[in-house]
Structure 1
Amino acid sequence: MRHVIDQAAAWQADGVRFALATVVRTAGSAPHPAGTSMLVAADGRVVGSVSGGCVEATVCAVAEDVLAGAGPARETYGVSDDDPFAVGLTCGGTIEVTVREVTADSPLGRVAADVAARVPVALVTPLDGAGAGLAVGAAGVSGSLGDPRLDRAARDAATGLLGRGESGIVTVGEAAPGPGCAAERALFVRSFGVPPRLLVFGAVDFARPLVRIAALLGYRATVCDARPAFATPARFPEAAEVVTDRPHHWLAAHEDLVDASTAICVLTHDARFDVPVLELALRGRAGYVGAMGSRRTHEDRLARLRDAGLDAGALDRLRSPIGLDLGGRGPEETAVSIVAEIVAARRGGSGRPLGELAGPVHAPHPLLNSRSKGTVESEFLNVRS
């Protein structure tokens, strides 16, 4: 989504006419979560995707109509049992997509700037197409929905969702507005949170493809090693930072950066380094803690961590030997197995072949059915990239 927002802001600044198509609601085995967007320019250029290819051509046709003056559109795409040739999703899910022309007063530039600066920000757009939209974040509110009272209500709702890292439809205002109250409006809030962190301790060969793959998934990677000859930016061009320090010293000084979205990979493969940093990591808040090494190394490591005072609950959090069993060899295939385990841990996946499982291929996110003001009506995604 980052590249879509960047391109949208660039087109807007250059005066390019284009429409923004956004998935606002999903059901069943939908290919992409709510918030996924696609741009369609008046000259035919397309950036992004809303379904992975199933309905893109139809959405482009809708966007052409919007740009021709038809006004904002809201379409639902799913499986049609009545007409097997109807446009729909082969995965069996359903998506609801809004398509609207982006105007010069839309706050996309502010959103793109905040995302680039790693500042959490939410983009609020009205589902009825009226109003330019709002950008809500630490820098305040930019743009407008056309009513100051509605702007304030939307700001409060967006702030709540942004704080939880959620995207979805909210309803604000009053169905029967009185004095000082805005009329009820349905809005879509797209939250852009801070990217998750990957902390890699040990600037070994396995770390290089690990950082490269994680960067493709939107992780902000830090590589730390006590050896200056190995901890160099030239060896890890995709890393956000490369530091020379003892792993446990660095982690102790930066524990405030670690949260449930953080993945910690200890690749030092040396008890002098990995045990102290693992002791800190397993006492902390990281959602994933993995360590490289053989099963014999793992047993020795567990004994040392027990001696350091870690209980069974903390030790159960350690994923070691690190990675899923893919049968891979070498740094690149090992990195794939590690990232696969990180994704499975973050998304609640089993790590088993999909062919062995029943149910939707794309597991749904929690659905909140409440339709009260300021609550999410659709499936939400913990947005961190």
Structure 2
Amino acid sequence: MGTVVATWRSAPRPVGAAMLVGPGGEAIGSVSGGCVESAVYELAKKVVADRRPTLQRYGISDDDAFGVGLTCGGILDVFVERVDRTTLPQLEEVTADIADGRAVAVCTLVEHPDASRVGAHLVVRPQSASRTTVVGSLGSPRFDAAVADDAPGLLASGRNGILTYGPDGERRGEGARVFVASHAPQPRMIVFGAIDFAAALARTGTFLDYRVTVCDARPLFATRSRFPDADEVVVDWPHRYLRAEVDADRRPYGPRRAHA
């Protein structure tokens, strides 16, 4: 898996964009919209073979920028690692968290003076506003504790990003970088009123990757056929539906909402 962990200037894909190279050689996803995919693909095959995670920078400043195809002027760091049940034992649990809408952050050590520690993972799950659980290790209890304290801030805002530390997790140090991949629940848009404007809003919300609910107390108008772009259409009084949703959804870092 190749993941964009940092970008500068006009990089074509955001931090967190990823490309997988499967066991059959198939490529899924994109790290640059086509610019450096061939180079990342070749690097991924090498990483699978020698099991050595690699942080690679691509950019117009590189001597071979045109050779890899990144001619747009941007710079991106791509971390390529082998992913399986050995390198990431928590893979199935993380996948289940994402599928069920539970917030989880996968923290990966992408740079460290000790190359043998690069690629280590720490999985952080919020249990409440002040408590998290962690699985895995980045190499030392001090390092783990620092990342466990800092990663929830990125997870709460649904952002991916790099955290920089000293070799043993010193917050004022440098030399070690941890990439936090935040998997927060999909943000929600709840639209009250089954009218034509709601249909247009539902279509826009779906395009922007919201989980869209249309709610109206009139079963004649609140139908799936009238709102095919919504994830769900609910027949209920708006105040009653909203109260029930707020009471039911008190998970830490639960779905962010936009009401219309």
Structures share a fold, TM > 0.5? yes
Per the alignment, residue 144 of structure 1 pairs with: 137
Is contact 1:131-1:146 (8 Å) kept?
no
Q: Distance in 2 between matches of 1:167 and 1:97?
A: 14
C-alpha spacing 1:91/1:84, structure 2 compared with 1 (3 Å): closer
Q: Distance in 2 between matches of 1:83 and 1:123?
A: 32
Per the alignment, residue 329 of structure 1 pairs with: none
Q: Distance in 2 between matches of 1:69 and 1:56?
A: 20
C-alpha spacing 1:39/1:176, structure 2 compared with 1 (3 Å): closer
Q: CA deviation at 1:163?
A: 2.7
Match status 1:153 vs 2:128: no
Extract unaligned runs of 5+ from structure 2. 112-116, 128-132
Per the alignment, residue 119 of structure 1 pairs with: 102
Structure 1 counterpart of 2:12, from 31, 34, 39: 31
Q: CA deviation at 1:73?
A: 1.3
Q: CA deviation at 1:110?
A: 2.2
Q: Distance in 2 between matches of 1:166 and 1:137?
A: 15
Q: Distance in 2 between matches of 1:157 and 1:201?
A: 37
TM-align CA RMSD: 3.2
C-alpha spacing 1:136/1:70, structure 2 compared with 1 (3 Å): closer
Deviations 1:272-305 (A, max 9, x none): xxxxxxxxxxxxxxxxxxxxxxxxxxxxxxxxxx
AA at the equivalent of 2:222:
A
Is contact 1:103-1:132 (8 Å) kept?
no
Is contact 1:23-1:34 (8 Å) kept?
yes
Q: Distance in 2 between matches of 1:115 and 1:57?
A: 29
Per the alignment, residue 257 of structure 2 pairs with: 262
Match status 1:214 vs 2:189: no
Q: CA deviation at 1:58?
A: 0.9
Extract unaligned runs of 5+ from structure 1. 1-19, 178-182, 266-385
2:233 partner SS: strand
Q: How many residues align?
A: 240
Q: Distance in 2 between matches of 1:254 and 1:70?
A: 46
Is contact 1:120-1:162 (8 Å) kept?
yes
AA at the equivalent of 1:229:
L
Is contact 1:222-1:242 (8 Å) kept?
yes
Is contact 2:109-2:119 (8 Å) kept?
yes
Deviations 1:29-75 (A, max 9, x none): 12222111111113111111111111111110110111121611111
Match status 1:49 vs 2:30: yes
Q: How does 1:146-185 map to 2 (within 5 A)?
A: 146-172=139-165, 174=167, 185=176
Q: CA deviation at 1:152?
A: 2.6
TM-score, L = length of structure 1: 0.54
Q: CA deviation at 1:246?
A: 3.8
Is contact 1:211-1:238 (8 Å) kept?
yes
Q: Distance in 2 between matches of 1:47 and 1:248?
A: 43
TM-score, L = length of structure 2: 0.77
Deviations 1:73-101 (A, max 9, x none): 11111224866733243332111101010
C-alpha spacing 1:54/1:237, structure 2 compared with 1 (3 Å): same
Q: In percent, how many aligned pairs have the same letter? A: 48
Is contact 1:21-1:98 (8 Å) kept?
yes
Deviations 1:166-189 (A, max 9, x none): 321113455698xxxxx9732111
C-alpha spacing 1:143/1:130, structure 2 compared with 1 (3 Å): same
2:16 partner SS: coil
Per the alignment, residue 228 of structure 1 pairs with: 219
Is contact 1:198-1:264 (8 Å) kept?
yes
Is contact 1:196-1:219 (8 Å) kept?
yes
Is contact 1:80-1:88 (8 Å) kept?
no
C-alpha spacing 1:43/1:54, structure 2 compared with 1 (3 Å): same
Q: Distance in 1 between matches of 2:18 and 2:255?
A: 26
Is contact 1:154-1:172 (8 Å) kept?
no
